[in-house]
Each structure stands twice: as structure tokens, then as C-alpha cells.
């Protein structure tokens, strides 16, 4: 049954993001079959706004073998919730000692000799699991080619001493063009050979995030790091979730908080960006930019109420915005759906992203803490 068809919000609830964890599990299963690679499910940034712990559990149920996050703190939060699957964290504070990561058996992405030595120094009775990150053209972090020799030799030495375990060798693509990604992949092969020449045998070589995992089969290697796609959203501007066989997991909705009849000419919200062109009904939706509804989408945003889609009227404010519902019989307490799975009739999140001149990633990850996440299963 669709989340949209589940009817109204609970009494007293004004707004919610419904998270369908079955969709996440199904998306992972679909992508695992498609890629025929191990899935590292990326649950950074609170699972792209869906909730890191529930997303991690759903992804593991769907066949992911490992979790990926940016910060060690995010990995520790998964451990604190009782998740003991392998987790890798790849973005570290300057001078990080990795002691908390080592104690919690969190694997770390390593971009420099200095980080490698810090990770080795954090080892206790067990080696620290590391994934060496090599720079292949993205221009962010990662070991540069000039340092491969030193870092790989030191890795081999520290592995022999039992202070680290080399779990992976990885990099990240720019998705600029297929040619650019192929060039990065070629640089990755050079890195891989340089590592092998030092006797390194990383079990998992991984470079593809959702974009390349779906579109560039040769980039799938041993594992793929999937973020946006496990939440059912497309990494491509020109293909929808349905085109990719994915189901969006998040539905953002609210209860209409007020309804009033307004005369022609009535100004709406700050700055009177909108004036009612004729007598009409204005409905108040209690979600605003504090909740992640972009103020930039004041022109072009739309919500579904009942069987109709209505445009935002006037400025989106911090806590609320208004929609012009014409003469439709919209009532206080009706459910307004901002976005969800288009297969259920909900507007796609991409419509909001386009109105705000951004991408679906940014809309879902910025849904604010004031919006309760309500978990459903299929
Ligand atoms: C965020 C991130 C991913 C996931 O990217 P998607 O495009 O959401 O699949 C993969 N790898 C790294 C290094 C990342 O930072």
C-alpha cells in the first residue's frame, strides 16, 4: 500500500517525513543484483535525512555487507545503536587519533601517511581496519600518486606488524563525463598495481558511488558505495526513480493548519509575492524553510492535497507556507503531500529541487529536526 494512501497524520501531528524502510531494503536488493558487487550502504548525514540507524538496518536487510559514513562520530552512533556490521568512515578532523574508531572497530579511510601512522598507533589487541583512499582526479583528499610509494610501503610494514589490516583501496569519481570517469578509473588501476607491487592485497577495491555503479559497469569492481540510490532517488538529471527501478523512501507531508476564503487582490505572505487573482481559498501548510522546504522554491513548489496538485502562493516562511486551492473543498486537517513516490501520486522530490535550483540530495538531507520521522514498512 502506498504511504500516500495511509490517510491522515496522527491526531495532533502537524508534519512528518514518512520513511518506508522496505523501500530502502528493496532498493539495495535491486542494486546489488544489478551491480553484482558488494554494497557499501552510505548512511552519512543521518541517512540522507531518512535516519541513519533505520536506514542502516534496512540496507543490511536488503543485502548490504558494509556501511559507509563521512565522520567517525556517525559510525560511533551506529555502534551505539547496536549495529555491529562493518562500517567505514572517510573524513577526519585534522590530527584525529582514531582511538575511538579503533575501540569501536570502525574502519577508516586513509588519505595520508600521517593518518596511516595515527591509525596504526591507535591499534590495540587487534589491527585497525583501513581503506587507503587514492586521488584519481576529484581534487579533494586521497593519497596523491607521488606518495603512493611511501604510503604503500608503510602500509605493508604496518600490516606485517599487525597494527593495521588493509581492507580496501578506494577513490571517488567526479561524474563529469564518462570520459572523465574512465580516466579516473585508469588512474585507479595504476594505484592498484602500485599497491600490488608492494605486496598489498586489499580485499575490496571500490570507486563507484550511485552514478557510476548504475551507469559504468567497469567501475563496479569489488564493491559499490551507494547513497542516493538506496533511498530510491536518481543520481541522474534525465532519469527518474521509476526509470531505474527504484522506489523513493521518503514522503514529506503535513496537515493543513488553516483554510480561509480570500477576496481578489488579497496579498499572501511576506512581500506580497502573490496576490489572489480572483476570490479563492488559501490553505496553510505548516512546513517552512526551518524544516528544509527551500525558500527559493516559493515560485514553482507544489503540493498534493486530495487528488489535486496546488502551487505555493507567496513566500515560503520559516515555519509555513500558503497554497492557493481555488474553489476546491480543502479543509483543515487534510493531508498536504510535498513529495514522495510519484507512483502513489505524490509530486517527485525533483520538482522541489528544480524549483530551488538544486538536486534531490540536498532536499532530503536538509529536512530539519523539527519534522518527526515516521517509519513504515512497505
Ligand atoms: C556520499 C558519498 C558516496 C555516496 O554517493 P551517492 O551519489 O549518494 O551514491 C559514496 N562515496 C563517497 C566517498 C561519498 O562521500
Residue with the nearest Cα to atom 6 of ligand 1? 227
Ligand 1 atom with the smallest distance to the CA of 230 is 9
pLDDT score for 140: 86
Instruction: State which of 31, 37, 42 you would mutate to test the pocket of ligand 1, scoring each by most atoms of that ligand within 8 A of its C-beta.
Output: 42
Alpha-carbon gap, residue 42 to 309, rounded angstroms: 33
Alpha-carbon gap, residue 59 to 97, rounded angstroms: 29
pLDDT score for 157: 98
233 Cβ below 6 A of ligand 1: no
Give, in degrees to the nearest 5, the angle at Cα 230 between 237 and 110: 95
Strands (E), the chain: 15-20, 38-42, 66-69, 87-89, 107-110, 128-133, 164-170, 204-206, 223-226, 250-255, 258-262, 267-268, 274-275, 280-285, 302-305, 308-313, 321-326, 335-339, 373-376
pLDDT score for 9: 86
pLDDT score for 7: 65
pLDDT mean for each 10 residues of the chain (378 residues):
58 91 98 98 98 98 98 98 98 96 98 98 97 92 94 98 98 92 95 97 98 97 98 97 98 97 94 92 98 94 96 96 97 97 97 97 98 95
Alpha-carbon gap, residue 85 to 236, rounded angstroms: 30
Ligand 1 atom with the smallest distance to the CA of 48 is 8
Beta bridge partners of 34: none
SS3 string of 146-179?
A: HHHHHHHHHHHHHHHCCCEEEEEEECCCCCCCHH
Name every residue whose Cβ is closer than 8 Å to that of residue 125 and which is 6 or more positions away in sequence. Answer: none
41 Cβ below 6 A of ligand 1: no
235 Cβ below 6 A of ligand 1: yes
pLDDT score for 3: 47
Domains and CATH numbers, the chain: 5-12+249-376 (2.40.37.10), 21-232 (3.20.20.10)
pLDDT score for 5: 44
Write out pLDDT tens, residues 258-304. Answer: 999 999 999 999 988 999 999 999 999 999 999 999 999 998 899 99
pLDDT score for 6: 53
120 Cβ below 6 A of ligand 1: no
Amino acid at each position: 500500500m502506498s504511504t500516500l494512501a495511509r490517510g491522515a497524520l496522527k491526531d495532533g501531528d502537524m508534519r512528518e517525513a514518512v520513511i518506508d524502510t522496505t523501500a530502502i531494503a528493496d532498493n539495495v536488493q535491486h542494486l546489488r543484483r544489478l551491480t553484482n558487487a558488494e554494497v557499501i550502504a552510505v548512511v552519512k548525514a543521518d541517512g540522507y535525512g531518512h535516519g541513519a540507524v533505520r536506514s542502516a538496518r534496512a540496507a543490511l536487510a536488503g543485502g548490504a555487507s558494509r556501511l559507509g559514513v563521512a565522520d567517525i562520530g556517525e559510525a560511533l552512533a551506529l555502534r551505539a545503536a547496536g549495529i555491529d556490521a562493518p562500517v567505514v568512515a572517510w573524513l577526519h578532523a585534522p590530527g584525529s587519533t582514531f582511538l575511538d574508531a579503533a575501540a569501536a572497530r570502525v574502519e577508516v579511510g586513509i588519505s595520508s601517511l600521517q593518518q596511516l601512522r595515527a591509525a596504526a598507533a591507535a591499534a590495540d589487541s587487534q589491527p585497525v581496519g583501513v581503506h587507503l583512499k587514492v586521488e584519481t582526479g576529484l581534487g579533494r583528499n586521497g593519497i596523491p600518486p607521488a606518495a603512493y610509494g611511501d604510503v604503500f610501503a608503510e602500509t605493508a610494514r604496518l600490516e606485517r606488524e599487525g597494527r593495521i589490516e588493509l581492507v580496501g583501496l578506494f577513490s571517488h569519481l567526479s561524474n563529469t563525463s564518462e570520459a572523465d570517469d574512465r580516466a579516473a578509473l585508469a588512474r585507479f588501476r595504476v594505484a592498484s598495481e602500485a599497491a600490488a607491487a608492494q605486496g598489498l592485497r586489499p580485499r575490496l577495491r571500490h570507486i563507484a558511488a550511485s552514478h557510476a555503479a548504475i551507469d559504468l559497469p567497469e567501475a563496479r569492481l569489488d564493491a559499490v558505495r551507494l547513497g542516493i540510490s538506496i533511498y530510491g532517488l536518481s543520481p541522474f538529471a534525465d532519469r527518474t526513480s521509476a526509470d531505474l527501478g527504484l522506489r523513493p523512501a521518503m514522503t514529506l507531508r503535513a496537515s493543513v493548519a488553516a483554510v480561509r476564503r480570500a477576496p481578489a487582490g488579497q496579498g499572501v505572505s511576506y512581500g506580497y509575492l502573490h496576490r489572489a487573482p480572483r476570490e479563492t481559498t488559501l490553505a496553510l501548510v505548516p512546513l517552512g524553510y526551518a524544516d528544509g522546504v527551500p525558500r527559493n522554491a516559493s515560485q514553482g513548489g507544489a503540493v498534493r492535497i486530495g487528488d489535486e496538485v496546488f502551487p505555493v502562493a507567496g513566500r515560503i516562511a520559516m515555519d509555513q507556507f500558503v497554497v492557493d486551492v481555488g474553489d476546491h473543498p480543502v479543509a483543515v486537517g487534510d493531508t498536504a503531500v510535498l513529495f514522495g513516490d510519484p507512483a502513489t501520486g505524490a509530486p517527485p522530490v525533483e520538482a522541489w529541487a528544480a524549483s530551488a535550483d538544486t538536486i534531490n540530495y540536498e532536499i532530503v538531507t536538509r529536512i530539519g529536526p523539527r519534522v518527526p520521522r515516521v517509519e513504515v514498512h512497505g
